[in-house]
Structure 1
């Protein structure tokens, strides 16, 4: 197996390098936390772990991993001075975090044991039910011997031992069991058995002789599923990998020196998931090694089959169970490692004490390196959670809270509606700029009515003797490039028989010639009951109805388009108000309020269409009548143009004939008769022209009135209606609802309630973490030194 890392220092110069330890970068302080700033940062890390901030941020820590029976418990005892039971297979069913603190001189020793959550969610690894009261467990004492610790872990009643009560929630002497009662462990291979726990046993040691230290022990890697479930074995490996991958963790990888390294899968996992800068390899049970030369070859880098580690290997001797309290581990390790072949290993890599000093220095350096980034991460996460808290809103447990919740949404929605109608350009999203959208629709409606609203094109008279005079434009549209005020029909000049069905809007209006034919048809039909040459006024409503057939269709499409725009804007404004673009939108309120907006929109749309139908029906059924002087002016203007054109066509001819034969009275009379006949057309032609001009003048005035009525009355009514989706969702609307309706609108499902509780809990953790980090950085920040004159 190959291991990541760098080449260690040559072994041959070991003793010389040790004499110059101050210049060697690998030589670390015996107590790296001796400085005040280091102690402050270590205490801050400890406080961050105590407030469960490790659930949100990666906190630097030492993590010890290894296989089952690899000697982790004995190594932990050597590193932490905790009397871990050895050779009993204990403390392997859950992770254990050990925190050691140095307290002021003459302060008393204290041991506090609690059970806390893991650093990250493990439900996807172990599908255990979290029904155990682990957070209620507290054990306090001045000391902790191996027998007490073993009994505490093994779930047997406590013997008579001294407990020191420092708080009211200390467990009674016969109620200190951990594994079964508080973690729910029930060993066995039946489907209901639970062989491991995801919670962490936290052991806090403090006293004037303690060193600052923190380490996390993870259950040993299981090589085969003997007496445990196979999925639990796989889960333990997944949990080990998760701890290995955390970039802030310094991983101590323990290998049993009495077993071939290639047979220990823990190092394969470490090589795959841990950078060499974070990996500290340790050989345990060196006094039991079956092949000391092989172990020394790997530890010194002499064995070329194994790539040396960046931090080098450490070798330690384990404490065994039958060695009494008087056993001196430091002396035993010095004796073992002072002999061949162990003396080839660098002195600074031999023994538990050297390992402890090295780990302490490494952890101290890691904390200093990571702490500023940790604080920035805490601030960023806190900001995100506060924003989420704003989106989730206040709990809605009673009617008043529910009403306040809805009022806040409605007030914000109302303000956004006003902005969409008055200052739409302040919105970045186009669909929210409602006033601009509707104004564009109104202009398009005006254009469509001018170009497509009429069934027939009107004749546009032009003065024949003034070629620079454009056709009279009485519609208000700008002239087209050819000088005509309205687009020419593609069928202009067609001799086809007039048919109203052919006046489809897609193909444009029918021609003015077809209008003349329709007028002739109607005159012929209506003259059956009156004298020839007289215009029957009943013809005009018939022609007007035909000419305005397209109005209702174009106007309906316009109103439906406006309705869609209003509904889209209303939905978008509601979405913005509820924070629906955030990671956690208020989907409950959206689901509850959107149907109300849609219902209001449907009613407003129906009301607008009804108003349109009513106005158009009145337009067709009311008598032809107007007091607008523009009607008379336009009608007279058309008559004058016709008279001038007729006169122009024959005046020159009459004058020439008179000049040529001034004495020919008969010729002169004939010319005047022809001129009179042209200027004063037949009764039939006069009736046609009168019908056309009256219809044209009246239509043009009515068209402008219709457009303005639709846009200024009906469309604007849709926008500002107090029953519409924009103005309808208001404070007045909420106050009109019953308590049951308010409760229905403000309801939230259990998921949202749980989400809010989790958010509040995380805010509390992060707020406390941010306070801890700020205090630590403030206390460790270099202070300016005033210059002394």
Structure 2
């Protein structure tokens, strides 16, 4: 808000002559006579300082940091409007409560000679208003209104009424006298009235709504008190405290300003309605004006207290000159003549305010630069946190492409095992997936077989207790009951000792029945690993949470398709292993089957013959012949093979066992390569899909502009925040430049 102003010549320079002497306004009756209001305070240096503050105000920097300002505060009905009228000569409507419902800023600016006096009226919106509401208030002007008109009482009343209507709504209920307080309470919007002319004294002052009597339960009391506290807490506010002569202790403002740590130096007191003081009573009024710290320490002010006598009800139509004459005669009375005349009357008050303001501005300037720099750094951080602006298709496309470039570079490293540029171990996709595959392999080896295949040692242990080789077949068939039952269940046209081919297929399905469950669980785990790595990579490539969520949602359909394809691929593998032919070209399969048979014979020879020769077969126990000797191994094999049923069972078992040893590793490898590598880690997988080529294919061109905007377009609230921050940055940067270039003259 503009609170301190300085006059300019038509070319923007300061109005002083070539010798550097300040040129005062043309002499005329009233406030603007040379010297009557302390033009000695407006020397070259002071005017330059005021010019700087005024420039900062025009840049709008007062929205972001505190600038020097004069504010008038006080309780309701203490005559703040009368004081304003006395100081500004603008005829505020006395006792009109409407003007106390929102702050009013009065700005007086001196213009170059021969320029006409002009009036400007505007509203500064509440900072918490919506953008639409702010625009509505900023666009408001009273109608009809002539900028060259005089600010008489009728004009002022009309301005306040129209401002009241736009701020609170024209439908607000009013009392019949138009002076009743609306139920809508108070507003933080500010009515600004600027008067610019060659006879003005550079001056600005803010009138704050009066403190409403009541307590914390009264909403208007709270609002008024909060508004007053806001201005009081501004360390660069010059506070004009207005009280009347009724009762000092009942005026709440007297307690509020004393809580300020620097109250003595930036508070100036005004005792209004001095003509209503009763003789020989209310002597505290004199004590305040004397401002003796030894007599009235609690209310002592460095700038002092001033007494005013304003127009009475019967004098409302009198001129300013008549008002000044009455005031001068009043203070010449016996009670008041004992006081310092420099503390009595509106002219003395205004002169003191100008002096105090100029000094306050001079003291404030050195602190502004560091505060502007701090605000500027904070503003820049907030802008950086919003990311790049996304208001055009080009900006949106460029942003998405940049994110895709950053993401794909990191994702390639994650998949290929190059982790140098990665920032978190959750992004080490290749390592984590290898861990998952190792767990899958271990689980397959542990749970992948429905019924364990019988080892050669187990066969030997079964027949070891038997007395005769004739007992081997019955004993062994007991341990292979699950195979024997399957052979019997599927008996068909095969000869004795033969096995129906369907038996191995059915037994195989039974043996690998858990593969689907184990592989599905492993696939889910790999998908989780990929998702977590993907999320971590996205978080690094795209810090903007909202945009990141939109991008991931946009890619989700293609991610889902890849996951579906991986599951279809897994089902193909399962189907091939479960329902296909038990076939392998692997060279170890035949050797493995022979190895199982040979191991069984060797185990039986070791346990049943060599350890106990008395239990050996008759042929094996005889002295070996020199010609046609029959070895023990051949005898054992012939015993096992001579029983057709046992031969069929053992042959089926050994075939399945040999095939299983080949098939389980083949399935583990196929799962890793065809399901995980081909799909989840393939070119269309979640970690490889989001590339610049993909973005171009999906989002480039006018036909994709709408989808691009939906995806990367900036949220309106963010766009407005960015606009506000950019405006703040521009204001602060220009303000910083102005302050840095300011020279002490």
TM-score using structure 2 length: 0.70
Query: Alignment partner for residue 231 of structure 2, among 235, 243, 247?
Result: 243
**Alpha-carbon RMSD:** 5.4
The aligned residue for residue 547 of structure 1 is 511
Aligned to 2:63: 55
What residue number does 2:444 align with? 449
| Residues 203-236 of structure 1 deviation map (CA, whole Å, 9 limit, x = unaligned) | 55678997765432223334499xxxx9667644
**1:70 equivalenced with 2:78 (yes/no):** yes
Unaligned runs of at least 5 residues, structure 1: 1-28, 157-175, 396-400, 465-491, 494-511, 659-663, 783-789
Q: Partners in 2 of 1:202 and 1:244 — Cα distance?
A: 20
For residues 293 and 329 of structure 1, do their structure 2 counterparts lie closer, same or farther at Cα, with a shift above 3 Å needed? same
Alignment pair present for 1:261 and 2:248: yes
2:292 alignment partner in structure 1: 300
Secondary structure, counterpart of 2:321 in structure 1: coil
Shift of 1:565: 4.6
Residues 66 and 255 of structure 1 are in contact (CA less than 8 Å); yes or no, is this contact kept in structure 2?
yes
CA distance in 1 between partners of 2:445 and 2:350 (Å): 96
Give the Cα separation in 1 of the matches to 2:680 and 2:744. 60
Q: Name the counterpart of 1:634.
A: 592
CA distance in 2, matches of 1:549, 1:333: 112
In the alignment, what sits opposite 2:15? Answer: none
1:325 maps to 321
The answer on whether the counterparts of 1:420 and 1:435 sit within 8 Å (CA) in structure 2 is no
Deviation readout 1:243-275 (Å, 9 max, x if unpaired): 34445544332212x221222233345457887
Unaligned runs of 5+ in 2: 1-37, 463-475
Measure the CA separation in 1 of the matches of 2:263 and 2:452: 87
Match of 1:117 among 124, 132, 152: 124
Q: Is the 8 A contact 2:73 2:240 kept in 1?
A: yes
Aligned pair 1:708/2:669, yes or no? yes
Equivalent residue number for residue 206 of structure 2:
216
Output aligned runs, 1:456-605, within 5 Å.
456-459=451-454, 516-523=480-487, 530=494, 538-567=502-531, 579-581=543-545, 585-586=546-547, 590=549, 596-605=554-563
CA contact (8 A) 2:380 2:729 kept: yes
1:154 is aligned to 2:175? no
Name 1:471's counterpart in structure 2: none
Check the 8 A contact 1:375/1:773 in 2, yes or no.
yes
Q: CA deviation at 1:773?
A: 2.0
Q: What's 1:162 paired with?
A: none
* CA distance, structure 2, for counterparts of residue 781 and residue 695 of structure 1: 101
Q: Distance in 1 between matches of 2:602 and 2:407?
A: 60
Q: For 2:243, what is the secondary structure of its paired residue?
A: strand
Conserved? CA contact 2:562–2:680, under 8 Å: no
SS of match in other structure, 2:249: helix
> What does residue 375 of structure 2 align with?
377
Decide whether aligned partners of structure 1 residues 245 and 211 sit closer, same or farther in structure 2, where only a CA change above 3 A counts.
same
Q: SS at 2:298's partner residue?
A: coil
Q: Equivalent residue of 1:455, what SS?
A: coil
Structure 2 match to 1:409: 400
Deviations 1:534-583 (A, max 9, x none): 676654333322221111111112223334454566567667766544xx
With over 3 angstroms needed to count, the CA separation of the structure-2 counterparts of 1:571 and 1:668, relative to structure 1, is closer
SS in 2 for 1:148: coil
Give deviations 1:515-543, integer Å, cap 9, x for gaps.
84423444555677555566766543333
Cα contact 1:111–1:141 (8 A) shared by 2: yes
Q: Closer, same or farther in 2 for the Cα pair 1:612/1:386, shift >3 Å?
A: closer
Contact 1:389 1:759 in 2 (8 A): no
Distance in 2 of aligned mates of 1:380 and 1:129: 24
Name the residue aligned to 2:716: 753
Q: Secondary structure at the match of 1:115?
A: strand
Distance of 2:193 and 2:101 partners within structure 1: 15
Aligned residue for 1:776? 739
Q: Alpha-carbon deviations, 1:130-175, whole Å to 9, x = none?
A: 8556455799979x9xx5353431229xxxxxxxxxxxxxxxxxxx
| Native 8 Å contact 2:104 2:190 kept in 1 | yes
Number of residue-to-residue matches in the alignment: 655
Alpha-carbon distance in structure 2 between the residues aligned to 1:460 and 1:39: 107
Distance 1:33-1:703 versus aligned 2 partners, 3 A rule? farther
Post-superposition offset of 1:682? 1.3
Q: Deviations over 1:671-726 (max 9, x none)?
A: 97866544654125565554444323321221112112112221223335666656
Change (3 A) 1:596 1:112: same
Contact 1:62/1:363, CA 8 A, preserved across alignment: no
Partner of 2:22: none
Deviating more after overlay: 526-535 vs 621-630: 526-535
1-structure distance, mates of 2:42, 2:741: 18
Within-5 A mapping of 1:12-91: 34=43, 36=45, 42-76=50-84, 82-85=89-92, 87=94, 89=96
8 Å Cα contact 1:286-1:317 kept in structure 2: yes
The question of whether the paired residues in 1 share the 8 Å contact of 2:124 and 2:192 is answered with no
